[in-house]
Amino acid sequence: MARGRIPAPVVQNDDNHSNLSEDSPPPYSEYYGEDEIDKNDKAALAPLGALNGRYDISSPYVTNEWPDCGSDFELDLTISGSKLWGQSDLGLIEGLIYFEERPRRSSNKTVPFRWRGYETGENSGFAGDRNEGWIRFLGGGRIKGYFDYQRIYFQGQRKSGQRTKSGIDVSTLQSKWDKFEEEKYWW
């Protein structure tokens, strides 16, 4: 052995993992948020399908923690070239979301977005580019997502029977986005 080197301990592996300390932490997912994917999401994904349109959204966390906010939430998405814009109502927060790059296929990978909006029932808003979240586009109109504010997880399904064109045009969403930034009392 070379001078100054410490030999690595010899670890005996067996099938029952008896070499693990009882104080070892539980195994965690390699990817942030991976624990939020249920087993059905790991199966073969459906084709992406139409992104534009209205989604029915649910968030057990919001419904349980803030029952006054209700449980009928929505998200409207609008494609603009390679970008994706949205307008959301999650009961506790309402506002706009912006994806720099829209998804091209279904995936369990998170697609990051920035958001601006306000907390319902409060005189507090959120502007700037520090508000973040993500959505997984699981195909067949199914989504799962996350807002950094209050660590809100949600899931949704694109409403059936819609046209492929969104009900909200992108210029309206861009105008609202800019207006959030102009308001002086917003964070």
3 pLDDT more than 70: no
| Tokens standing for residue 6 | 């410490």
* pLDDT of 93 higher than 70: yes
What ranges do the domains of the chain cover?
A: 44-182
CB 108 within 8 A of CB 102: no
CB atoms within 10 A of CB 67: 10
pTM: 0.74
- Predicted confidence band at 122 (pLDDT cuts at 50, 70, 90)? confident
Class at the top of the CATH hierarchy for domain 44-182: mainly beta
Decide: 32 and 137 in contact? Cβ < 8 Å: no
Backbone angles phi, psi at 150, to 5 degrees: 60, 10
- Is there a contact between 90 and 71 (Cβ–Cβ < 8 Å)? no
Give, as one character, the DSSP assignment of residue 165. Answer: S
